[in-house]
Structure 1
Amino acid sequence: MRTGMRWLLRIVVLLVVLAAGGTFIPRPLIAPVKASSEETTHRILLLSGSIHTDIAIPLDEETRAAFSFLHGSGFPLGHPNAEWLVIGWGGRAFYLETPNWAELKPLPVLRALTIDRSVLHVDLAGHITEPQPGIAAFDIDDDQLARLRNFILDSFIRNEGEIAPIPNAGYGEIDRFFEARGYFNALFGCNTWTAAALRSAGLRTGLWNPLPQSLRLSVGVYN
């Protein structure tokens, strides 16, 4: 019994150390050289909840053009009141079957704790008021925004050049789910994907950010 408790304590301590290191060791270790401050800047948002994070990018002409393929899935990219394109990545079972905590089921949780196929969730947002809890904003230049868009575009699975929408999947009338590259598990999940997306835009994150809280803290410290 005591041996089991000691091993459990060691595991807990190890996880705490890894989480702390993942938050406070920056990635990349050396801050990238900032481009000229005179370049056009674009605001992007990190939207975070208790266990999940999304990225919101401005729905300008370049973004509408880059994601124009979404029209074919019935996604209303041209909605006149839309100001933001909101994207998140996550485990297929948990994402699709758990729109809210009241609908939590054992199997999606099990899949999330082991390994699962991944999906992208795409949504629109109108005006977002700042500041508010759960939202962190960053200003990036043209090139950084282009790299972020490309990172997101590369996350879609394509069959002979065509994206793979998931039929009858969504939380509302507007949002859509799509098959995505990569596999999900609790250690390398939605928040580590978000962190990688932010790094593609030239921002710094922690070395390992499996939780929204550690990601918010690390991007706040290093940017």
Structure 2
Amino acid sequence: MKLLRKTVKIVGYTLGGILAVLLIYAAAAYGLALIPVAAEPVPPGGERVVVYLFTPNDVHTDLVLPVRTSQKDWSQEIKYSHTTSRDSAGYDYLAFGWGDKGFFYIPGWGDLTVPIALRAAFHLGTTAMHTTYHTEAELMPGPSCVRLELTPAQYKRLVTYVRGSFRPDAASRVQYLPGHTYAGHDAFYEGQWAYSFWHTCNTWTNNGLKAAGQRAVLWTPLAGGLFAPYKAK
């Protein structure tokens, strides 16, 4: 009987602890996303580089950059030949998304398993950069797409941030991951760092907005938190 009571107490404390952590996490995800990070002031006029904040599904977010500018030609590394279509016609923008390979590689949310979720949540998996070529017509501003105009200096910082999210090989080249694709115009590459419940794909995007001096939030693991400052404009 004593052993049973002790076991029940341990189970109760464990479940209570898990519930407390979940409640704290939910409160942080909601509360910290309400604290805005203002865009840095820039003088009017001058050259601007157009980029986009984009969500394909209201869960994951991408930073979408022009394929070629005077500062960076992404097609030299993120090659059209790495996509199954191998088509360059009209694809003038390139979306970058960071995330856990386990999440990325499943066909759909119905295929998500508990082991995949736990590895991702607790910093135990490996990550990838998912890149998707887009036409300009696919990037119409709306609830899932925000147009941003960066100064050359801001864009340079964003390029540095995005490029630094790829895990390079010994020759400092991006590492293509063949055999994984969602459509004919996307490709995967090895990513830096590890995914966790504290550092999600949307946290990565939020940090990119901060690096580029754009409006962001203090912290968010969710796509909705990223778009809130722009909806409130």
TM-score category (smaller protein) = 0.7 to 0.9
Q: Residue in 2 aligned with 1:40?
A: 47
Change (3 A) 1:208 1:111: same
Cα distance in 1 for partners of 2:116, 2:226 equals 24
Q: Quick check: 185-194 or 44-53, which moved more?
A: 44-53
Aligned alpha-carbon RMSD (Å): 2.8
User: Which segments of 5 or more consecutive residues in structure 2 lack a partner in the other structure?
Assistant: 1-7
1:173 is aligned to 2:184: yes
Shift of residue 86, structure 1, vs aligned partner:
0.7
**Of 137, 149, 164, the match for 2:175:** 164
Give the direction of change, closer, same or farther, for the CA distance of 1:80–1:63 in structure 2 (3 Å limit). farther
TM-score (norm 2): 0.80
- The answer on whether the counterparts of 1:206 and 1:219 sit within 8 Å (CA) in structure 2 is no
Query: Pairwise mapping of residues 46-61 of structure 1 onto structure 2 (< 5 A)?
Result: 46-48=53-55, 49-61=57-69
Aligned partners of 2:140 and 2:165: how far apart in 1?
A: 28
| Aligned match for 2:95, one of 83, 86, 109 | 86
Comparing 210-219 with 13-22, greater Cα deviation is found at: 13-22
Quote how far apart the aligned CAs of 1:60 are.
Answer: 3.3
Match of 2:138 among 119, 128, 142: 128
8 Å contact from structure 2 (residues 67, 73) kept in 1: no
Show the counterpart of 2:3: none
Looking at structure 2, the residues matched to 72 and 61 of structure 1 have their Cα atoms a distance apart, in angstroms, of 17
Per mean C-alpha deviation after superposition, the further-off stretch among 209-218 and 14-23 is 14-23
TM-score by length of 1: 0.83
Distance 2:33 2:72 in 1: 34
More deviation, 197-206/104-113: 104-113
- In proportion to residue count, which structure has more strand? 1
| Aligned partner (choices 35, 48, 70) of residue 62 of structure 1 | 70
- State the distance in 2 between where 1:210 and 1:219 align: 17
Q: Runs of 5+ in structure 1 lacking a partner?
A: none
In structure 2, the CA distance between the partners of 1:105 and 1:11, relative to structure 1 (3 Å rule), is closer
**Residue 125 (structure 1) shift:** 0.8
- How many pairs align? 218
1:146 alignment partner, SS class: helix
Is 1:184 aligned to residue 195 of structure 2?
yes
State how far apart, in whole Å, the 2-side matches of 1:167 and 1:181 are.
17
Counterpart in 1 of 2:107?
Answer: 99
Deviation at 1:100, TM superposition (A): 2.2
